[in-house]
């Protein structure tokens, strides 16, 4: 992408007050070793240490100018001790020995205060991990000046088109390391770049967003151009009556809805009877064109190859041609169910167990144009907003369309439409998918990033209309 | 601590900042939860660091660090100015701020019992006892309880000479029972959903809630909902319980009055507002009995939006938002106040932590109490539905159209509360809804509810806000829409 090429010239090899840095991995290991050494003399039976370091930068713009521009650096050490079948966690961002010792003591004090847990497992020993490389130098060295220039170009485009731009351009570095007193050690680092833009052409607006490990994976100006064109298309919106419509959901809209399914695949959620999959495992509850995998190693995914206890993440087929087949397990839920852990556990202690965090939907070969061409009367949805769960078992979600809702008639986008409120079951929606596009790394605002396709869905339920 | 602040301010000034302020914060938190009779989360954390906001070349920069050394502070101060200068590459004008006085002060919110001094065994024993009470009810399939305590010290210093130390103690506590049966999951919570009640108090809040007294009822209602009638779909009279009304205020008054949203600064994320500047002092927001204030002062109560000074060094204030139904005021800061003709900020800049930039936030946005007794309100309602305890909430990005659902509803017939209703919901347009309000209960029924999870800003910040409310009645509301056409 052109902005980052310019930025590399500016940034390479330079050290300034604004350049983010992470500690070398050996420093994280040293902190972990220090905690484990200190813990030996405190009476802890076992000890686990997480070290997380972030260096985040984010430029925010609105009204065609930067109005907020921030940088953050932080490091947390989180210590879990186990004593006499009890466990608890204490976290600090102070890494001198006295502070680390105080956190160990705090963790032990918390642990001692509770009844014994007969189901508490011993810490896991050493594990083997697949290597993933998600730390991209181009992203790491992106400077405030680079972000400002890219933002300036997007704002200039807005001004040129009689519009108003708002959005963010962010880059971040993150690393985490986990070690325990049984010799387990795991470490991971990644970069993250994100550009999001809203173009407003009163009273309409549209939006585009991308993120990836590499800032070169997307072009901010192309995103701004797309949002600008759609904002112009979105003016003069007409009001349509609520009801059931065929919809073409762009990937961001798909993501923000199906993202609410992720915790339903946790074994603990089923054990607690709060999953919509209770009594539905092994049944044909989605269409045969729906298959879902949790795959931390997919090339479009980010995230560590290990979970909160240091267990290696496994690739898990969750839904096979419309039938939920498998769940994800932490060590404790796996033991309770007589299964093997899949490496999806949260850091202990917690009451939620685990969750798949790297969902990948099987895709299709229908481009948006192909979906339009097959649609006599329907709606194109850019993005959804403020989605909340109305019925946890039928998985009915409510929310609004936002930033570009368009009528598709006889194969073509014919006009803009006022935004609707929907009340729609995700289970029903995934039974009504008629066409799927290629799966992409989608990003929205309601869910974490996943790999999902655009979808054409029949009978999507809109219940009310708003004023714009 | 003041030396750290002074060091950071000096660096920012030496690097070219024309104004700078810093927030050094020390946050301590303890979380306890139980689930199905077992301890769930048992954790505590502390975090200390500093955030520096600098104005240079007419634009803002912000940097934060946890490296509280001379070198770390100097680097952070320099970074804030460097970022401000980068911001100036894409500015359309220079930042202007209204004037503010200089304050040297120290303030601590009052509390009676420090929750960090109460034995953990005592806290866990109470939660486990409440958990057991709920599990005694046949049909309850999941029980959850929790307590959360936060102690926050902040040291604010600015280049105009203010030095303000504040200490806040925040306590939260709640219980919930869930029942799965057939094809339904039903849930009841006490005293509110999503973690219960939260306020600027100590452990006395937990004791005042009398969890054990309510635990059995919570379990029984969760299971009874399965056999309750479905909330009908109709247009009719709605009575909202206080906690649900608190969230209604939050979403349909609190957010639209944030001046940064109004000015488009949140357009890409949280959205904008229907309350454009031309609406001030002209819009009939609600009926004559609707009076809403933004009040951060301690005399308003121990709310999550209570403080002595905001995070820009401006004293806590009370601002009329809706007066006798008329729209009267926004939430502003030193940068935006002059745009609505104010000579002074309304004092609503707040930050989640040392590593976040202060932004305009709700304080305590409260509906003033009315005159009705609760029993009188029910007796005066011939045909209506009472809804209590939020289950879901959603509103469009300009804050017109909303839909809420609650955990439980009750049919009101002939002035009496009759049968239980399940899956209650209602929806509407903000100003139409507030104009349909015809009765508000008196101060005897007024509670300052805490919303601990308000998300806003990029990077995201989670903030606690307060919402005083008493049960109130609304006419001709669309009811049951969330479950329509099923």
Cα A280 from Cα A319, distance rounded (Å): 12
Please give the DSSP secondary-structure letter assigned to residue A44. Answer: -
Window B:4-23, CB contacts with A under 8 Å: none
Please write the tens of the pLDDT for every residue from B410-463. 999 999 999 999 999 999 999 999 999 999 999 999 999 999 999 999 999 999
What is the residue-averaged pLDDT of chain A?
Answer: 94
Please report the pLDDT score of residue A21 as a whole number: 83
Question: Are residue B75 and residue B180 in the same domain, yes or no?
Answer: yes
**Both tokens assigned to B178:** 């869930």
Query: Which residues sit opposite A57 in a β-bridge?
Result: A71, A171
Please write the tens of the pLDDT for every residue from B24-79. 999 999 999 999 999 999 999 999 999 999 999 999 999 999 999 999 999 999 99
Q: Which helix H or strand E contains B174, and what residues bound it?
A: strand B163-181
Among B467, B471, B369, CA closest to B417 = B471
What is the total count of domains within chain B? 2
Please write the tens of the pLDDT for every residue from B86-127. 999 999 999 999 999 999 999 999 999 999 999 999 999 999
Taking the alpha carbons at both ends of chain A, their separation in whole angstroms is 35
Question: Are residue B145 and residue B261 in the same domain, yes or no?
Answer: no
Does B394 touch chain A if contact means CB atoms closer than 8 Å? Answer: yes
Cα B439 from Cα B373, distance rounded (Å): 10
| pLDDT surpassing 50 at residue B280 | yes
Does B425 touch chain A if contact means CB atoms closer than 8 Å? Answer: yes
Residue identified by tokens 């077992």 is B38
Question: Are residue B223 and residue B235 in the same domain, yes or no?
Answer: no
With the CA atoms of A310, A312, A313 and A318 taken in that order, what torsion angle do they form, in degrees rounded to the nearest 10?
Answer: -110
Cα B134 from Cα A30, distance rounded (Å): 46
Cα A71 from Cα A238, distance rounded (Å): 42
Does B336 touch chain A if contact means CB atoms closer than 8 Å? Answer: no
Question: Are residue B371 and residue B422 in the same domain, yes or no?
Answer: yes
* CB neighbourhood size of B14 (10 A): 12
Q: Residue A6, class by beta-carbon neighbours within 10 Å (0-12 exposed, 13-18 middle, 19+ buried)?
A: middle
Query: Which residues sit opposite A89 in a β-bridge?
Result: A80, B43
Kindly report the length of chain B: 486
Average pLDDT over residues A31-38: 98
Residue B322 Cα distances to A192, B249, B290, angstroms: 43, 11, 7
Cα B168 from Cα B296, distance rounded (Å): 13
pTM: 0.96
Among B358, B301, B362, CA closest to B329 = B362
* ipTM reported for the complex, 2 dp: 0.96
Q: Which residue of B has its CA nearest to A61?
A: B265
| pLDDT surpassing 80 at residue B372 | yes
Domain boundary among B208, B227, B246: B227
Question: Are residue B222 and residue B265 in the same domain, yes or no?
Answer: no
Average pLDDT over residues A91-111: 97
Cα B359 from Cα B351, distance rounded (Å): 7
Average pLDDT over residues A449-456: 97
- CATH code for A2-222? 3.30.2290.10
User: Binning pLDDT at 50, 70 and 90, where does residue B466 land?
Assistant: very high
Using an 8 Å CB-CB cutoff, list chain B residues near A149. 89-90
Q: Which residues contact A390 (CB under 8 A, 6 or more apart)?
A: A396, A397, A398, A423, B391, B392, B405, B425, B482, B483
Domain boundary among B180, B196, B227: B227
Q: Which helix H or strand E contains B73, and what residues bound it?
A: helix B70-87
| pLDDT surpassing 70 at residue A6 | no
Please report the pLDDT score of residue B303 as a whole number: 98
Cα A243 from Cα B212, distance rounded (Å): 46
Question: Are residue B318 and residue B193 in the same domain, yes or no?
Answer: no
Using an 8 Å CB-CB cutoff, list chain A residues near B38. 117
Largest CA distance in chain A: 75
| pLDDT surpassing 60 at residue A17 | no
Q: Out of A12-21, A262-271, A383-392, B375-384, pick the least confident.
A: A12-21
Largest CA distance in chain B: 73
Question: B415-440 burial, b for 16+ CB within 10 Å, e for fewer?
Answer: eebeebbbbbbbbbbbbebbbbbbbb
Q: What is the CATH number of the domain that holds B112?
A: 3.30.2290.10
**Both tokens assigned to A109:** 């004090």
Percentage of residues of chain B with pLDDT beyond 90: 99
Question: Are residue B290 and residue B242 in the same domain, yes or no?
Answer: yes
User: Binning pLDDT at 50, 70 and 90, where does residue A2 land?
Assistant: very low
Please write the tens of the pLDDT for every residue from A60-85. 999 999 999 999 999 999 999 999 99
Q: Out of A37-41, A248-252, B283-287, B481-485, pick the least confident.
A: B481-485
Please report the pLDDT score of residue A19 as a whole number: 57
Domain boundary among B175, B208, B227: B227
- Do B329 and B346 form a contact (C-beta atoms < 8 A)? yes
Residue identified by tokens 């798909």 is A254
| pLDDT surpassing 70 at residue A5 | no
Please write the tens of the pLDDT for every residue from A333-352. 999 999 999 999 999 999 99
CA distance A200 to chain B (A): 9
Average pLDDT over residues A240-254: 98
Supply the range of the domain harboring residue B359: 230-483
Cα A150 from Cα A134, distance rounded (Å): 23
Q: Which helix H or strand E contains B477, and what residues bound it?
A: strand B472-479
**Both tokens assigned to B382:** 């011939």
* CB neighbourhood size of A143 (10 A): 21
The SS3 of residue A39 is helix
User: Binning pLDDT at 50, 70 and 90, where does residue B486 land?
Assistant: low
Using an 8 Å CB-CB cutoff, list chain B residues near A90. 43-45
Domain positions in chain A are: 2-222, 236-468
């Amino acid at each position: 992408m052109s902005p980052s090429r310019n930025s590399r010239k500016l940034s390479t090899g330079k050290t300034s007050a604004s350049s983010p840095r992470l500690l070398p991995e050996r420093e994280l290991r040293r902190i972990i070793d220090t905690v484990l050494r200190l813990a030996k003399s405190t009476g802890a039976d076992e000890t686990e240490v997480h070290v997380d370091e972030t260096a985040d930068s984010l430029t925010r713009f609105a009204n065609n100018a930067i109005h907020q521009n921030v940088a953050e650096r932080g490091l947390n050490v989180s210590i879990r001790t186990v004593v006499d079948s009890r466990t608890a966690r204490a976290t600090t961002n102070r890494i001198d020995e006295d502070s680390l010792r105080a956190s160990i003591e705090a963790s032990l004090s918390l642990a001692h205060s509770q009844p014994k847990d007969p189901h508490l497992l011993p810490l896991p020993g050493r594990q083997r991990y697949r290597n993933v490389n998600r730390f991209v130098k181009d992203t790491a060295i992106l400077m405030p000046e680079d972000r400002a220039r890219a933002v300036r170009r997007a704002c200039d485009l807005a001004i040129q088109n009689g519009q108003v731009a708002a959005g963010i351009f962010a880059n971040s570095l993150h690393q985490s390391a986990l070690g325990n007193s049984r010799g387990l050690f795991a470490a991971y680092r990644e970069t993250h770049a994100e550009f999001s833009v809203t173009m407003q052409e009163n009273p309409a607006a549209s939006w585009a967003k991308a993120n990836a490990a590499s800032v070169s994976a997307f072009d901010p100006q192309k995103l701004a151009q797309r949002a600008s064109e759609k904002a112009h298309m979105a003016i003069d919106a007409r009001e349509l009556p609520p009801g059931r419509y065929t919809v073409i959901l762009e990937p961001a809209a798909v993501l923000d809805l199906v993202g609410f399914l992720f915790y339903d695949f946790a074994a603990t959620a089923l054990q607690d009877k709060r999953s919509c999959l209770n009594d539905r495992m092994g049944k044909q509850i989605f269409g045969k064109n729906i298959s879902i995998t949790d795959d931390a190693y997919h090339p479009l995914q980010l995230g560590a190859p290990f979970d909160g206890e240091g267990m290696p993440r496994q690739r898990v087929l969750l839904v096979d041609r419309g039938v939920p087949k498998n769940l994800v397990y932490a060590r404790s839920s796996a033991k309770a169910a007589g299964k093997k852990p899949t490496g999806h556990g949260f850091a202990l202690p917690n009451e939620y167990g685990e969750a798949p965090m790297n969902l990948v939907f099987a895709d299709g070969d229908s481009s948006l144009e192909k979906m339009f061409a097959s649609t006599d009367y329907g709606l194109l949805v850019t993005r959804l907003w403020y989605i909340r769960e109305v019925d946890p078992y039928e998985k009915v979600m409510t929310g609004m369309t936002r930033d570009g809702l368009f009528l598709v008639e006889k194969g073509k986008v014919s006009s803009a439409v006022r935004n609707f409120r929907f009340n729609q079951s995700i289970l029903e929606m995934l039974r009504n998918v008629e066409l799927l596009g290629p799966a992409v790394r989608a990003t929205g605002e309601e869910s974490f990033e996943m790999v999902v396709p655009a979808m054409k869905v029949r009978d999507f339920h809109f219940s009310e209309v708003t004023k714009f | 601590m003041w030396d750290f602040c002074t060091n950071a301010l000096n660096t920012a000034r030496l690097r070219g900042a024309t104004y700078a302020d810093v927030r050094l914060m020390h946050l301590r938190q303890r979380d306890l939860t139980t689930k199905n009779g077992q301890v769930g989360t048992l954790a505590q954390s502390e975090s200390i660091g500093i955030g520096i906001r600098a104005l240079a070349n007419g634009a803002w920069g912000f940097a934060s660090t946890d490296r509280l050394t001379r070198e770390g502070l100097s680097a952070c101060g320099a970074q804030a100015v460097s970022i401000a200068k980068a911001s100036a590459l894409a500015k359309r004008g220079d930042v202007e701020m209204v004037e503010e006085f200089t304050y040297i002060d120290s303030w601590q919110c009052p509390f009676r019992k420090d929750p960090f001094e109460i034995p953990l065994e005592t806290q866990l024993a109470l939660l486990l006892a409440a958990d057991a009470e709920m599990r005694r009810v046949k049909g309850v399939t999941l029980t959850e309880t929790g307590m959360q305590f936060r102690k926050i010290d902040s040291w604010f210093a600015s280049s105009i000479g203010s030095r303000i130390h504040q200490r806040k103690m925040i306590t939260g506590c709640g219980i919930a029972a869930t029942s799965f049966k057939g094809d339904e999951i039903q849930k009841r919570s006490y005293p509110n959903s999503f973690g219960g009640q939260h306020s600027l108090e100590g452990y006395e809040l937990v004791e005042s809630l009398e969890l054990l007294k309510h635990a059995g009822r919570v379990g029984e209602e969760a299971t009874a909902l399965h056999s309750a009638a479905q909330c009908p779909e109709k247009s009719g009279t709605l009575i909202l319980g206080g906690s649900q009304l608190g969230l209604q205020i939050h979403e349909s008054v609190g957010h639209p009055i944030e001046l940064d949203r109004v000015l488009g600064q949140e357009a890409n994320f949280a959205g904008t507002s229907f309350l454009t500047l031309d609406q001030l002092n002209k819009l009939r927001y609600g009926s004559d009995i609707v009076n809403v204030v933004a009040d951060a002062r301690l005399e308003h109560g121990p709310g999550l939006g209570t403080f002595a000074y905001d995070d820009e060094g401006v004293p806590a204030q009370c601002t009329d938002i809706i007066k006798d139904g008329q729209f009267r005021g926004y939430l502003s800061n030193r940068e935006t106040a002059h745009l609505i003709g104010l000579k002074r900020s309304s004092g609503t800049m707040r930050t989640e932590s040392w590593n976040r930039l202060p932004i305009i936030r709700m304080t305590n946005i409260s509906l003033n109490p009315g005159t009705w007794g609760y029993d009188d309100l029910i007796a005066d309602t011939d045909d209506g539905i009472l809804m209590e305890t939020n289950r879901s909430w959603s509103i469009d990005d300009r804050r017109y159209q909303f839909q809420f659902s609650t955990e439980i509803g009750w049919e009101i017939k002939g002035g009496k509360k009759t049968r239980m209703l399940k899956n209650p919901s209602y929806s509407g347009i903000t100003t139409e809804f507030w104009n349909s309000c015809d009765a508000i209960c008196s101060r005897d029924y007024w509670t300052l509810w805490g919303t601990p999870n308000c998300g806003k800003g990029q990077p995201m910040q989670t903030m606690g806000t307060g919402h005083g409310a008493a049960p109130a009645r609304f006419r001709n509301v669309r009811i049951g829409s969330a479950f329509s056409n099923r």
